[in-house]
Amino acid sequence: MGHTQQAVQLDPTETLDADRFMDYERSVLRSRLVDSILNVIDRPNMSICDVGGATGVLLQKLREHSSHPIDATVFEVNDAYADRMIHPSIQFRCGSIIENDLPTGAYDVVTCRHIIHHLVADNISNTLLLQRKAIAELIRITKPGGYLIFEEQVNLVKPFSRAVYHLSKLANRAKFNWKYFEAGNVVISFLTPKEISEMIASHVADGTIGIETESLTRRNVEWRWKLTLLMSRGGDMLYVINKNV
């Protein structure tokens, strides 16, 4: 009897750029994510895990504006951030959301921003499996009665999304580096709004979660991305999801 091959994530150290993301992560302070999370932090002793949270910029912002102390944890695949945390009291755990040892129902709030499109495998089919599994894991580690709140960059045109994946992988493997278009450093595979909604729908159907917010905001794309056409139809999906069981 044959065995189904498991989808394997491409080595994050080869497909991500830790230094560039440190500059990029501060953009979270201008996102809808901050207010969405603050709206549900309404009681003491809340634990929050920011998956892919880099140096803890988002968590520190939340702690500064919350009316209660927060037990804050960054769960990050790249250990380069471990000694760069914005505040020493923020816990750092190294690991991948794809394969992790985090307990089920560990956190009152689980959050992430623009992480799912960085979870890439050797082909589109396996990449979609990884992304689906990541969403399932984000839900799993959320405590019943808690919230999964995340924002994800999407591409509204499926063929464009697929082309971005193939071209970014090719540039990465060829070590072709073009800083103006940030080509060669990262491999990315955007979901469409429909694809990400379908990945969440099965968890709604079985009663595990309920969706409080599902919102698409179109991006005001810079001219350099408009020139590529492939990146000209983008947006951000925001989800506020309540974990039922």
Domain annotation covers residue 137: yes
User: Is 146 buried (19+), middle (13-18) or exposed (0-12) by CB count in 10 A?
Assistant: buried
- Residue 10 confidence (pLDDT): 85
Q: Digits of tens for pLDDT over the chain (245 positions)?
A: 333 357 898 888 887 777 777 777 888 888 899 999 999 998 899 999 999 999 999 999 999 999 999 999 999 999 989 999 999 999 999 999 999 999 999 999 999 999 999 999 999 999 999 999 999 999 999 999 999 999 999 999 999 999 999 988 988 887 666 554 555 578 999 999 999 999 999 999 999 999 999 999 987 766 555 556 566 678 999 999 999 97
Contact 170, 126 (CB under 8 A): no
Q: Is residue 22 part of a domain?
A: yes
In a domain, 77, yes or no: yes
Please report, for the domain that includes residue 135, its CATH number. 3.40.50.150
Domain membership of residue 181 (yes or no) is: no
pTM: 0.90
46 in any annotated domain? yes
CA distance 149 to 167: 30
- pLDDT for 232 equals 66
Please tell me the predicted confidence (pLDDT) of residue 1: 36
Query: Does a structural domain hold residue 186?
Result: no
Q: Which of 9, 48, 29, 19 is nearest to 146 (CA)?
A: 48
Quote the pLDDT of residue 171.
Answer: 84
Burial class (CB in 10 A: 0-12, 13-18, 19+), 191: buried
- Is 179 contained in some domain? no
Query: Is 62 domain-assigned?
Result: yes
Task: Tell me which residue of 192, 59, 50 sits closest to 131, measured CA to CA.
Answer: 192
Range of the structural domain that residue 123 is part of: 12-151+191-218+234-243
Per the structure, the count of domains in the chain is 1
Strands 91-94 and 70-76: parallel
